[in-house]
Structure 1
Amino acid sequence: MRSRRIPTRLFLSAAGLAVVLLATPDPLFAQRGPVAPDPGTIRLKTATFDPLVAMPSLPDGLSISEYSPGVRGSYLVQFDSPITAAHRSALENAGAAVKGYVPMMTLEVVMTPASRGKVAGIDGVRWVGVVQPAFKLYPGLERDVADRFTPGDKVALQVSLYPGEDEPGLSQVRGLGARILKVDRGRSFLVAQVEVPAARLQALARIPTVRYIELVYEPMALNDRARFHNGMAAIANDTFSAGIDPSLDGKDEASGFQVKYGHMDTGIYIAHPDFTTADITFEPGADSSDLDNGHGTHTSGSLVGDGGQSSSVPEGAPPGGAAIGPNQWRGMTPQAALHHISFDNLYTDRQMFERESEEGVQISSNSWGWSSGGSSIRDYNTNAAMWDEGVWDADNDVAGLQSLIVFFSA
């Protein structure tokens, strides 16, 4: 693992509130509403049900009773008590590969129908059932595809597959006439971006080792003025006015000394006067002009701008502002380094944070989110799950865990 010095005091700013991704829930999880108090309830994004009371009603073409003999497919195994290491060991001894957890007290496994019979006999198992094709589709996906595409159109989708089961799955995806565009291999799941005829969506969901299917989303720059509502503006002004501790020759920890950011955005206008002394590097192919947007110049300036143009800001701006002093509007950490990746690089999520890790980045600053049809995606999805994995291991190619502090605007 790389040795990284993280300062004990560090002020961070994005285009608004920042949130840190902490956990790694499965994208199949139901993320909204309180957790059901009934331990017999299984909570998926697409359905909430107690399998011993009633199964959900499923669309035609998106339900199956069992896989063909010898075929490895995905199942849900629910227990009647909290899951233990002994339960997992019993599943593995029965030929089931454990792939994930679903509330309540349910594991995702991959196995054959023959193993299903053995698993059903394990002490403490409450229910065993196939992961239905309908469970694998992001809510509303069929409707969105039908509204936006004709049956013969090619649709760009991101398809999650179970690790260790991905090669047979990808082969079956290709068999539907799909083209594999990109593949992200995480530790806990694999995500393939594919182009497939719209008419084959249900067939894609019926592939036994496909885990989840969503549209391929586009990055969207995000803005808000939360810093003025939560008091951050006043805190920042005090920090700027205090300046950098002269006894440390401008290298105190609050200035960002020995800190390196990763920055994904529209681009950076590197010729801006506030970047005269900034230590900014660019990913090959990244936009160093940002002339079409300006958002990336704004967010990178909030981090590492030197404030040389502070005197050009009119008095009273932003609202409630006083007279402008020298360097008052410098970035939060002007001594920090920054490595920029542009939307134009067309990287997958894992490619983004792996490149940041390879560049020695400690903090990934992101004032953007994923969008579909011009609207931001606000639900937890596969993209968010991949970033959550990157928090604790940002580079699978390096031994050990390569940690990364990740901020996204809220």
Structure 2
Amino acid sequence: MNIRKPFIILMFLALSLIIVGSVAGQNSQPNRSEAIQLQTIPSIHLQAGTFTPALDQTLDLPQTLTTQRAIDANSEAYYIVQFSGPVSAEWKASLEQLGGSLHGYIPDYAYKVKLTGRQAAAAANLDGVIWVGIFEPAYRLAPDLKQGGLSLYRIRLESGADVTAVTQLINNLGAAVYKQDGNFLLVAANSFQVDSIAHILDVAWIENFVIPEKQNEFGAGVIVGANTANANGYDGSTQIAAVADTGLGGGTASTAHADIPAGRIDAIQNFQGADSGGCYTVIGDGPQDVDSGHGTHTAVSVVGDGGSSGEGKGTAPAAHLVFQATEDYTEFTGFCSFFYTDGYYLLGLPDDLVDLYQPAYNAGARVHSNSWGADDNGAYTANSVST
């Protein structure tokens, strides 16, 4: 007995390491006892594609964008943990009790979770879990990512990431980090470097860098049917609306616009963009609408009271306004000057739009109007995630 007991313990430890290695290195086997009872077997929907792990489906990914090494029991990685149905609070709590940190929902019924290899093996055996798989580097790339030579990219890091450490790793690859705003980085890199960046642990998403463009040049009554709403007595008199755009009139409540009385302007917030060393310099001019008048136009289309005959009336002609000015003159330098010419740009918009919405909310706004965007054909971007 005294001889066999240590042998049994050693066998158990060896078996445990094999189990941990198999789950951590790649993906767990689907829990078919759970999945086979489902009327509809859930799939995983990513921008990289859709697949159903319970049916042994996988995505055909480039070898350079998959995890080739085995993840040992104590090393961390990001996993997809998929459940058999709508995720209950108890199921989420069981993941957190393992020590995992949740980093966003993935349809259907899954979460991205940061786990050690040992925790991932344990997660595969939790109630309701039907599959645990590596969140591959390929899943971190926008489908329309520019390929080939040097380009500008916007990179979002996971919450809790060591931004300084990730920045150093990117620089070590030969790419250039031009700007850091919270958990976002502006990076110049080529395709080979981008593939390597996708392997960095706390990189969440890589997309093409685009500067937001001014949009919406048409009146509110046509866009959202405000004429009908106003005719039925809805005028926004109990609301505070926020507008983020270029600037507002002369930059003060008294010089905003004749159709927006100063008494209805609760706040004007100025968001001056930060310089990006080696890429661009922002020359601040305050909250006034210096260049196109676009911000004044959009503000009036939201809260303007119009003329005596109703001309120029906005959607909510009695609402109060919080305006956020985000445009300044920008001079581009170095590599970035090949992509953009000097001029007025909306570079005051924060990379994390929560930093735009929260000050407006704190000022009382519960509606936020944005007449700007990017030429990305409706792609689900980091801005979509923030919103």
Q: TM-score range by the shorter chain?
A: 0.5 to 0.7
Take 1:44 and 1:125, find their aligned partners in 2: how far apart are those partners?
19
Match of 1:267 among 247, 251, 256: 247
The structure-2 alpha-carbon separation of the partners of 1:266 and 1:377, relative to structure 1 and needing over 3 Å to count, comes to farther
1:378 aligned partner: 378
Take 1:286 and 1:39, find their aligned partners in 2: how far apart are those partners?
56
Match of 1:164 among 160, 165, 169: 160
Q: Deviations over 1:370-400 (max 9, x none)?
A: x1xxx2541332212212xxxxxxxxxxxxx
CA contact 2:241–2:365 (8 Å) conserved in 1? yes
Q: Deviations over 1:270-329 (max 9, x none)?
A: 35762573344543456655353232221112234353xx3xxxxxxxxxxxxxx45654
TM-score, normalization: structure 2?
A: 0.67
Take 2:302 and 2:92, find their aligned partners in 1: how far apart are those partners?
46
1:96 aligned partner: 100
User: Structure 1 residue 296 and structure 2 residue 308: aligned?
Assistant: no
Superposition pairs for residues 38-57 of structure 1, below 5 Å? Answer: 38-51=40-53, 52-57=55-60
CA contact 2:249–2:257 (8 Å) conserved in 1? no
SS at match of 2:108: coil
SS at match of 1:206: coil
The structure-2 alpha-carbon separation of the partners of 1:103 and 1:360, relative to structure 1 and needing over 3 Å to count, comes to closer
* Aligned residue-pair number: 303
User: Structure 1 residue 227 and structure 2 residue 227: aligned?
Assistant: no
The structure-2 alpha-carbon separation of the partners of 1:117 and 1:327, relative to structure 1 and needing over 3 Å to count, comes to closer
1:218 aligned partner: 211
Match of 1:64 among 52, 62, 67: 67
Q: How far is the alpha carbon of 1:87 from its aligned partner? A: 3.0
Question: Which residue type is aligned with residue 74 of structure 1?
Answer: Y
Superposition pairs for residues 216-365 of structure 1, below 5 Å? Answer: 216-223=209-216, 224=218, 227-228=221-222, 231-233=225-227, 235-236=229-230, 238=231, 254=235, 256=237, 259-270=239-250, 274-275=258-259, 277-279=261-263, 280=265, 281-284=267-270, 285=284, 290=289, 292-307=291-306, 310=307, 325-326=308-309, 328-331=311-314, 332-334=316-318, 336-344=320-328, 346-348=348-350, 349-365=353-369
Take 2:84 and 2:287, find their aligned partners in 1: how far apart are those partners?
57
User: Structure 1 residue 126 and structure 2 residue 106: aligned?
Assistant: no
Take 2:63 and 2:297, find their aligned partners in 1: how far apart are those partners?
50
Match of 1:181 among 179, 182, 189: 179
**Identical-residue share of aligned pairs (%):** 25
1:140 aligned partner: 144
CA contact 2:153–2:208 (8 Å) conserved in 1? yes
User: Structure 1 residue 200 and structure 2 residue 185: aligned?
Assistant: no
Take 1:365 and 1:82, find their aligned partners in 2: how far apart are those partners?
32
Question: Which residue type is aligned with residue 156 of structure 1?
Answer: Y
1:76 aligned partner: 80
Question: Which residue type is aligned with residue 189 of structure 2?
Answer: P
Take 1:91 and 1:338, find their aligned partners in 2: how far apart are those partners?
41
Take 1:386 and 1:378, find their aligned partners in 2: how far apart are those partners?
15
Unpaired segments ≥5 residues, structure 2: 1-38, 271-283, 329-346
